[in-house]
Amino acid sequence: MFTLFNRKSIFVAAVFLVMVSSTMFSCKKFLNVESESALSGNNYFKTPADFESYISGIYNQFRTYTMSTAMFFVATGDYRSGPYIGASGRSDRDYLTTLPNNNLLGVIKDQVWSDKFIAITDWSYFFKMISSCNILIDNVSKEGNGLNEDQKKQYRGEAVFMRNLCYFFMARIYGDIPYYIDAYHTAPLVRENMVSVLNKCIKDMSEATDDLPWTYIDPSKVGVRAMRGSALDLLMHMNMWCATFDQANKEKYWQATDSLGKVLLNDNNGAYELLPFKDFRAIFLGGSKEGLFEIEQDVNKGETFTLKCTYADDLMHAPYKNNATSFGRIDSKFMTAWYPKGQADLRANGPDPWFQNIYEDNFSFMVLKYIDVAVLSQGAYGTPNDNQIVFRLPDAILLRAEALNNMGNDDEAIKMLNLVRARANAPNYHDGETPGMNLSDAIFTERCKELVGEGYYFYDLVRTKRILDSKFCAHPISAEAFSQGAWTWPISKNALTNAPGITLNTYWQ
């Protein structure tokens, strides 16, 4: 996929991609281009407006793929190997059975939604974004581009963040991946060990993190454009992922995660904070101090996700459609483990809880976390207007707690854990609070409770190896299957085009 294009045609293709994604999924008007010659490196990137349009296009490429092309977050991070149960007799919801059972060969043959799942097997979407990022970074450093030094740092930092976000997502989905950061790359590539790739990403992101602001003066950019907190949380995730697959150096990764989390929490100049629980829906409306990176959805601008990208048409279907039952539910065994009956927790039993009929073994269960019940009570069953959260502050707090616990600093780990619990008015952690569960289990469970439906669950199972344990995973895989790559996704055969050195994931062949 990299050998057929010359330098100019790669640039034209990249500009066209960001142009199309900008015009399709944003109200911002993109640069008018009259001819191919106008897209040469000599005639483009001459003004700050060129860079602004181009970086906006990269964000929209990411938005288009994850929220329109694919069932990206629910398929890869929520439903897969999760405790989800689909209603019987719904052939259009077969994925609520195949994804929890890790039957990815079955899900890409889904009679109704196969195109959504096949899209996840095609990593070319990520490489298109990476190519765009590489081109932007290359042009930021050139003379005569109209940028001052602060603007150069800003655009470079954003492009480096998006490049490394793509590589991180690819590593979690496919395992070993090709890697390159030069603009106009034409040489054929082979897959590289994902730990090696992520270590390169960690170095790359670390060198650009300080180029990003803690937040933006313009509220329309807060959360939806990369911030320093976005980069720090991404670095924490990459380190914790490496710690699992590079056991010889796990202490180094844990220490890095702790240090990054300390900076994020203590040195952010007031940019980030946990919102009071009564205001939690403001998080999903976007631009809050709790959000670190998110994908915007604004019904008022005509910018909406397909419903298959969220819980809206499955576990929230009843309120959305004003129906009596949902298409799916979370196994009550896991809901009881996450939110023990009788234990104080505003998420489960407060005046404005995240669930309806939380412990029921039927489809009156539904997730209300992203639904404004007050609006619904007035009969407003319109399209949900929530942003897709990619990173938010409780994620970073709990990652740091996990790293601290792994290093034996349990006192500080408990402080981090209790920050998240206190916001939900849940009791502080104490040893032996749940028989058979230690502090490590409590931190994992807190991530399940706090981040439910946000695309973390499956990756946390893999990263902590709890995907092997039926106590934490509804549909565990064996250690042998794990070592063979059962946690990855199949890779489309399109990856072999013009790249003879590429190998596919053998577990799925």
pLDDT of residue 10: 53
CA dihedral of 142, 146, 150, 153, whole degrees rounded to 10: -30
pLDDT in tens, 106-153: 999 998 899 999 999 999 999 999 999 999 999 999 999 999 999 999
pLDDT in tens, 384-438: 678 899 999 999 999 999 999 999 999 999 999 999 999 999 999 988 777 778 9
pLDDT > 70: what percent of the chain? 86
pLDDT of 19 > 70? The answer is: no
Lowest mean pLDDT among 34-43, 61-70, 168-177: 34-43
pLDDT of residue 318: 63
pLDDT of residue 305: 80
Q: What fold is seen in the domain 1-71+113-208+477-509?
A: 1.25.40
Give the DSSP letter of residue 286. S
Please answer whether residues 107 and 115 qualify as being in contact, where contact means their C-beta atoms are separated by less than 8 angstroms. Answer: no
pLDDT in tens, 358-379: 999 999 998 888 876 555 554 4
How far is Cα 79 from Cα 94, in angstroms, rounded to an integer? 12
Distances (CA, A) of 308 to 30, 66, 412, 420, 435: 28, 11, 40, 29, 38
Residue 195 pLDDT level (bands cut at 50, 70, 90): very high
Please answer whether residues 155 and 55 qualify as being in contact, where contact means their C-beta atoms are separated by less than 8 angstroms. Answer: yes
pLDDT of residue 23: 44
Mean pLDDT score of the chain, rounded to an integer? 88
Give the mean model confidence (pLDDT) for residues 332-355. Answer: 95
Comparing CA positions, the residue from 93, 74, 90 lying closest to residue 82 is 74
Lowest mean pLDDT among 46-55, 168-177, 250-259, 424-433: 424-433
Residue 32 pLDDT level (bands cut at 50, 70, 90): very low
Radius of gyration of the chain (CA): 22
Between 234 and 386, residue with greater pLDDT: 234
pLDDT of residue 117: 94
pLDDT of 20 > 90? The answer is: no
Distances (CA, A) of 299 to 32, 59, 71, 387, 495: 26, 18, 19, 11, 36
pLDDT of residue 42: 59
pLDDT of 12 > 70? The answer is: no
Lowest mean pLDDT among 33-47, 206-220, 274-288, 322-336: 33-47
Residue 306 pLDDT level (bands cut at 50, 70, 90): confident
pLDDT of residue 1: 41
Across 288-318, b (16+ Cβ under 10 Å) vs e yields: bbbbbbbbbbeeeeebbbeebbbbbbbbbbb
456 Cα distance to chain centroid: 7
pLDDT of residue 434: 78
How far is Cα 503 from Cα 498, in angstroms, rounded to an integer? 12
Angle between helices 393-406 and 250-266 (to 10 degrees): 140
pLDDT of 96 > 80? The answer is: yes
